[in-house]
Amino acid sequence: MSNIDYQNDQEKSFSPEESLQLIQTMIRKTKDSVAVDSFYLLFWGWLVFICCIVEYVLMIYFKYPYHSFVWWAMPIGGIISGIYSSRKAKKQKSVTYIEEALGYLWIAIGISFFVMVFINVTSEAWNTAFTYYILMYAIGTFVSGRLIRFKPLVIGGILNFIIAAVSIKFNFAGQLLMGALAILISYIIPGHLLRIRYNTKKN
């Protein structure tokens, strides 16, 4: 591409073959620019994982009655995540359709979490809350994995559909461990693999 001489653009007539080649080159260039960010997977993955484990330990080993306070980390995480994405949006020079689709997918999942939290605190649904959270992780990671063509994320998503089905058989303590397992498989492991792939691509 770099050797195309745009200077003589007006005079120079170029052949249909050259035309087609140029179109292909440019389309390939936009494909490469879909840089997928592992930040969200790793940030939310580790945050939720740690919260699940801490709540489990507080509840089972310390018999601490207010164990659910750990989830106050979620709105704080939301603020950090929001600041990160607004900073990133300022630097971003192009938006692909895949990035737009991913954005709306995760906004919808984010809203679903808010709705589920509302349902959980106003009913007894919190007992089986993780079954539905895991189902959300499954949808998010499966669709994202397909869109960016990243297999570990797709596999993580599929496994989470199974974990969600199994998790309904567990009591709340068991659900916490299921949640930790689900997030490990669908966010943390694919997130680290994605980071490795990105770093090796860059070098």
- Interface residues toward another protein, by CB under 8 A: 1-2, 4, 6-7, 9-10, 12-14, 16-17, 19-20, 22-23, 25-27, 29-31, 33, 90, 93-97, 99-100
The least distance separating another protein from the CB of residue 93, rounded to whole angstroms, comes to 4
Measured CA to CA, the distance from residue 79 to residue 180 in angstroms comes to 22
Measured from the CB atom, the residue of 13 and 203 that comes closer to another protein is 13
Q: Which helix (H) or strand (E) covers residue 76, if one does?
A: helix 73-91
Measured CA to CA, the distance from residue 75 to residue 81 in angstroms comes to 10
CA distances (Å), origin 47, targets 21, 84, 138, 188? 47, 15, 17, 10
Give which of 128, 73, 136, 134 is closest to 107, Cα–Cα: 136
The least distance separating another protein from the CB of residue 148, rounded to whole angstroms, comes to 15
The least distance separating another protein from the CB of residue 90, rounded to whole angstroms, comes to 7
The least distance separating another protein from the CB of residue 16, rounded to whole angstroms, comes to 4
